[in-house]
Amino acid sequence: MNAIINDIEIIKTKTTKINDVDFDDLKFGHVFSDHMLECDFKDGKWHTPKVVPYAPISLDPSAKIFHYGQSVFEGMKAYKDNDENIWLFRPLDNFKRLNISSKRLAIPELPENYFMDGLKTLLKVDSEWIPKKDGSSLYIRPFVFASGNGFHASPADAYKFIICTAPSGAYFAGEVRVLIEETYSRSANGGVGFAKAGGNYAGQFYPTQLAIEKGYQQVIWTDDNTHEYIEEAGAMNIFVRINDTLITGPTSDRILDGITRKSIIELAKSENIPVEVRKISVAEVVEAARNGSLKEMFGAGTAAVISPIAGFGYKNEDFDLPELEDTYASYLKKRITDIQTNKTEDPFGWRYKVEK
């Protein structure tokens, strides 16, 4: 058990930006709160985190992040209930996954207390930035990157761990239609697909842009070898409902072990919704769409929680999903968000209170 850090330095901003923010009209990830957490790795160890005013970062042009891409991140949210209590959702899972990602990219792993105590200190300093409007939250972005200098192709000798926060509204708005990818791959066996590495997302942008030009909003990624199996939906895990069974692919070197994904599986099982974790072929999904047994498809991730898919394209053919009154997507999303925002009991122990 890591000891609590009692000496986190707090340097507060001289002028707040909060009065210039319209909390009734928040775009996702466009407005940033007053402070951020900063922590440096140098001389072979992580140094005590500190809370500082949100500001640009100065880096040498030879910093290895620019040349060799050592960068990992997480996505989290903080919520505030009607009694002004601050809540997180499974934060230790985010901490553990950040270190799993870091290890794969040869980045020094963070101590748990640096992550948790630093995060809680930051949230207390910027507690007024946590919106209470339904559908809104304080999005939290922890990330680590190589700040050490040099052109030699090797791991850096210095790193920065930063947590920034952004009061945000809904991630997706409107109907989402996706294109099943037949050419490009998100990741490969033995690669870094299971890590939240910045480069994974950079590689997604071009194929996604091609899909957007065809009239879709996102890409359904398929396996790198045969493109016969669906694996993820854009930057999210994917679920498919055939008849009454909810199906999602197993995690692997290529598929992120999503925290929302794990929560949906556990919650669905507790509600006696049939769940299968197995490979899902494109052919199976297309056939289910043709015979009417495909009821739902949705993406799952921190930012949107659950994002329903209205239809998909494959081999120049479009398929519409049925418009159901009662969907697994809407039911599971409400159950999860009610737990996150302290509106209902939490039988799973997922909710984490930030003590004042």
The domain spanning residue 231 has which CATH number? 3.20.10.10
Q: For residue 276, is pLDDT > 80?
A: yes
Q: What is the pLDDT of residue 7?
A: 85
Q: Which of 134, 168, 202 delimits the end of a domain?
A: 168
Spatial distance between the Cα atoms of 109 and 100, rounded to a whole number of angstroms: 8
Q: For residue 312, is pLDDT > 80?
A: yes
Q: Whole domain around residue 48: which residue ranges?
A: 9-168
Mean pLDDT within 326-343? 96
Q: Which amino acid is at 235?
A: A
Is residue 78 domain-resident?
yes
- Dihedral over Cα of 142, 143, 144, 149: its sign: negative
Same domain assignment for residues 32 and 159: yes
Same domain assignment for residues 200 and 328: yes
Same domain assignment for residues 138 and 215: no
- How many domains does the chain fold into? 2
Token pair for 263: 């929560």
DSSP output for 302-336: TTTEEEE--EEEETTEEEEPP--SS-HHHHHHHHH
Instruction: Pinpoint the alpha helices (H) of the chain.
Output: 65-68, 91-104, 112-125, 198-213, 259-270, 282-291, 328-340
Is residue 69 domain-resident?
yes
- Report percent pLDDT > 70 for the chain: 98
Q: Which amino acid is at 58?
A: S
H or E element in which residue 41 lies:
strand 35-42
For the stretch 173-186, pLDDT in tens is: 678 999 999 999 99
Contacts by 220-225, CB closer than 8 A, 24 or more apart: 220/178, 220/179, 220/180, 220/181, 220/312, 221/181, 221/185, 221/186, 222/180, 222/181, 222/182, 222/185, 222/282, 223/185, 223/254, 224/185, 224/186, 224/187, 224/188, 224/189, 224/254, 225/189
Is residue 349 domain-resident?
no
Query: Which position has the higher pLDDT, 175 or 258?
Result: 258
Mean pLDDT within 10-35? 95
Q: Which amino acid is at 138?
A: L
Is residue 306 domain-resident?
yes
Is residue 354 domain-resident?
no
- Report percent pLDDT > 90 for the chain: 94
Same domain assignment for residues 41 and 154: yes
Mean pLDDT within 31-44? 98
Q: Which of 150, 168, 186 delimits the end of a domain?
A: 168
Mean pLDDT within 287-307? 96
Q: For residue 27, is pLDDT > 50?
A: yes
Same domain assignment for residues 210 and 128: no
Q: What is the pLDDT of residue 140?
A: 98
Q: Are 163 and 119 in contact (CB under 8 A)?
A: yes
Spatial distance between the Cα atoms of 180 and 316, rounded to a whole number of angstroms: 10
Tell me the average pLDDT of the chain. 95
Q: Locate tokens 């194929």: which residue?
A: 207
Task: Calculate the CA dihedral of residues 189, 191, 195, 201 and round it to 10 degrees.
Answer: -100
Other beta carbons less than 10 A from residue 84's beta carbon: 11
Spatial distance between the Cα atoms of 302 and 88, rounded to a whole number of angstroms: 12
Same domain assignment for residues 23 and 164: yes
For residue 1, the Cα-to-chain-centroid distance in whole angstroms is 26
Token pair for 237: 């895990």
Reported confidence tier of residue 1, pLDDT bands at 50, 70, 90: very low
Same domain assignment for residues 87 and 195: no
Q: For residue 308, is pLDDT > 90?
A: yes
Same domain assignment for residues 254 and 204: yes
Q: For residue 5, is pLDDT > 90?
A: no
For the stretch 73-123, pLDDT in tens is: 999 999 999 999 999 999 999 999 999 999 999 999 999 999 999 999 999
Burial class (CB in 10 A: 0-12, 13-18, 19+), 58: exposed
Q: Are 199 and 69 in contact (CB under 8 A)?
A: yes
Same domain assignment for residues 203 and 315: yes
Is residue 53 domain-resident?
yes
Token pair for 59: 């880096």
Same domain assignment for residues 149 and 184: no
Same domain assignment for residues 283 and 182: yes
Q: What is the pLDDT of residue 2?
A: 57
Q: For residue 45, is pLDDT > 70?
A: yes
Token pair for 158: 């210095």
Q: Tell me the CATH number at 21.
A: 3.30.470.10
Is residue 273 domain-resident?
yes
Same domain assignment for residues 227 and 307: yes
Which residues, other chains included, contact 274 with Cβ-Cβ below 8 Å and sequence gap of 6+?
Answer: 244, 245, 246
Is residue 316 domain-resident?
yes
Crossing angle for the helix pair 259-270 and 91-104, nearest 10 degrees?
140
Q: What is the pLDDT of residue 4?
A: 65
